[in-house]
Amino acid sequence: MLADVVVAAMRWIADNQTFVLVVLAISLAIYKLVLYPFFLSPLRHIPGPYLHRISHIPSLDAQRRHKWIEIIHNLHAKYGNVVILSPTAVSCNGDPKFINDIYVKNMPKHKFYENFRNHGFKDNIFASLENDRHVKYKRLVQNLYSKTAVFNPKNSSRQNVIEKVGHLIQTVYNSSVTGKEPDLRNARLALNEHGKGHALGSGKWFNQNNKKSHLGIDVYSLFGALAMDVVSAFELGMENGTHLLLSAEKRDILVPHRMQAGMVFWTTLMPRFWDWAAGEAIREASKQIEEWQLNLYAKAEENVPKLRDGENMTTLETFKKNGYKGKYAYTFLSDNIFAGHETTAIQLTYMCYELSRPANRFRQARLRQELVEAFGVSKLVNDIISDLEVVDKLPYLEALMQENSRVHTSIPGSEPRVTDKPYVVKVGDKDAVLVELPVGTQISCQPYSMHRVESVFEKADLWIPERWLQKENESEFEYKARMTNMQRYMMPFGKGIRMCLGMNIAVIEMKLALANLYWKFTSDICRDWCDVVETDVEVGNKIEIGSHYMKSSTDESMMTMVDAYTTRPYFDECWLEWLDA
């Protein structure tokens, strides 16, 4: 009997195949598009756009088109602290509890990070997903990067920073202040496809008034050179690092680094299609970078630094000592050098740009006043501030650093982690619902948005360093409480055990560079490069993120931030003029 029913059913299906396929397709569509997202999904109570519930495509496409950071920011403004990004991902904002739970308590990294491996997909600290593996790597070298080690006069790291900042000052003096060695190479650099030299086909835009001094200089390339010189010498030894500040031609290596950095979407989320998406130029840039890196390491292998009593080994020698040799050691170095030079250059570029805006002239003057009070007046061309301890404690310089890393954080994009156990989030305010996120849910905070929580940072989009200083009639207790609260929302170097390994050297490098620049010089935006927005208001307009804001040739438009995991000025340049103070 049952067999007859089955046979009859099979015959009916065979005779009505089209109808059956249509019914199955409709049923599957109803399940995927209605039943699962609204009734069965564990994320069904997380607010957000419908398309984000049913597909990963909106998320991937927005990242590909460099619009994702702004979209997430707007989603939080519309829906609240927790929003859905895809069928398996949520974003959290507005409460430091999320930073603490996700990053300080160290949820595992998402596979997004594993594609930052180098030299044949070899693992490194940043790319390691498992917490125990990350801790194993980090323990080998973390003492080298401690603040105590960086400041210790027995280690070359201290002299390294001072020496390279001296090279920076000399370059600014020769190229801009005196105009003896004008920055013509960057003015007509065809390799920078976004730059003014490439767009106009020559360097004729540069110095149209034929000035003899106070010429424009591309500080984005300049600070990239500084950071590369510092980090490479730190990793390999002072005698083995780069000397980009001393050679304009050698700075060309920064361009392929930028080209490859622009591929972060394909590197992290679509690695199988990387070669196709890159095209010939970027594939060649990638090969050029690896060849350049391996030549740098080969030199360091042949020229092992001789250590003084009490001096730390280099990062390379430390890894070799612990059994990581050849490309298994180089992968760690390449990650540190690539990320270390890029993020520092971004911070210094936006800092000097902000200080050079007409609205911030009084802030530049205030910084100089603080420096003169601490170190006197610079009298000789070769004078250099070298007291790291004093520089590190200057209150207004610290306020500038905090505000710049808040507004122009080098990595504004989401830092994806994965829940390793069920995690409960509160959705809504009045009719709050507790939602349990299952194991394996992608969860993240976006620094760009955390740094703009309006209830904590008044006028959050604007660059106001004074928010980090003690207010008039504010008690010491109130001030410290306010600082503590703001810091709970800050994550410019990440948070928790996974935060930036090179933070201490990056911070003092930036502080010493800024201290020396504004102790000796003043800066202004180069008017050959852009139309400068003049204003009497003591707060400049918001600098937007996203290419659709580039609607004019003003400095504010030219300094639009790229909407990407790691940002940068969209035009990959920033031209400033420097004068003797």
Spatial distance between the Cα atoms of 211 and 272, rounded to a whole number of angstroms:
51
pTM above 0.85, yes or no: yes
Task: Tell the residue number behind the tokens 């055990």, with chain if given.
Answer: 497
254 burial type by CB count under 10 A (0-12 exposed, 13-18 middle, 19+ buried): buried
Angle at 557 between CA 341 and CA 354, to 5 degrees: 55
Spatial distance between the Cα atoms of 11 and 14, rounded to a whole number of angstroms:
5
Cross-strand bridge partners of residue 91? 83, 444
Q: Tell me the average pLDDT across 154-179.
A: 97
Q: What percentage of residues in the chain have a pLDDT greater than 70? A: 98
Q: For the chain, how many residues are written?
A: 581
503-520 and 327-356 helices cross at what angle (nearest 10)? 30
Angle at 578 between CA 556 and CA 393, to 5 degrees: 85
Q: How many CB atoms lie under 10 A from the CB of residue 315?
A: 25
Q: Tell me the average pLDDT across 207-216.
A: 93
DSSP notation for 49-76:
-HHHHH-SHHHHHHHHTT-HHHHHHHHH
Q: Per the annotation, does 500 bind a ligand?
A: yes
Whether 264 contacts 564, CB under 8 Å: yes
Q: Which two tokens stand for residue 276?
A: 């196709």
Whether 217 contacts 529, CB under 8 Å: no
Confidence of residue 221 (pLDDT cuts 50, 70, 90): very high
Whether 6 contacts 13, CB under 8 Å: no
Q: Which residues contact 215 (CB under 8 A, 6 or more apart)?
A: 175, 176, 179, 182, 183, 206, 207, 577
H/E segment holding residue 525: strand 521-525
Which carries the bigger pLDDT value, residue 7 or residue 428? 428
pLDDT digits (tens, 9 = 90+) for 525-565: 999 999 999 876 667 789 999 988 877 889 999 999 999 99
pLDDT digits (tens, 9 = 90+) for 238-277: 999 999 999 999 999 999 999 999 999 999 999 999 999 9
* CA count, 13 A, side-chain hemisphere, 58: 17
219-236 and 327-356 helices cross at what angle (nearest 10)? 150
Q: How many CB atoms lie under 10 A from the CB of residue 16?
A: 12
From residue 24, how far is each of 18, 29, 31, 53, 348 by CA, in Å? 10, 8, 10, 22, 58
CA quadruple 54, 57, 58, 62: dihedral, nearest 10: 160
pLDDT digits (tens, 9 = 90+) for 441-467: 999 999 999 999 999 999 999 999 999
pLDDT digits (tens, 9 = 90+) for 103-114: 999 999 999 999
Whether 465 contacts 399, CB under 8 Å: yes
H/E segment holding residue 442: strand 442-445
Average pLDDT of the chain to the nearest whole number: 93
**What was the pLDDT predicted at 26?**
86
Which carries the bigger pLDDT value, residue 553 or residue 43? 43
Q: Which two tokens stand for residue 305?
A: 């630094």
Whether 559 contacts 350, CB under 8 Å: yes
| pLDDT tops 70 at residue 354 | yes
pLDDT digits (tens, 9 = 90+) for 273-311: 999 999 999 999 999 999 999 999 999 999 999 998 989
556-573 CB burial, b ≥16 within 10 A, e <16 = bbbbbbbbbbbbbbbbbb
Whether 402 contacts 416, CB under 8 Å: no
**What was the pLDDT predicted at 192?**
76
Q: Tell me the average pLDDT across 477-493.
A: 98
**What was the pLDDT predicted at 1?**
65
Q: Smallest Cα–Cα separation from 336: which of 378, 297, 390, 283?
A: 297
| pLDDT tops 80 at residue 47 | yes
Q: Smallest Cα–Cα separation from 372: which of 343, 404, 397, 400?
A: 397
Spatial distance between the Cα atoms of 367 and 291, rounded to a whole number of angstroms:
42
| pLDDT tops 90 at residue 189 | no
pLDDT digits (tens, 9 = 90+) for 335-352: 999 988 999 999 999 999
Confidence of residue 201 (pLDDT cuts 50, 70, 90): low
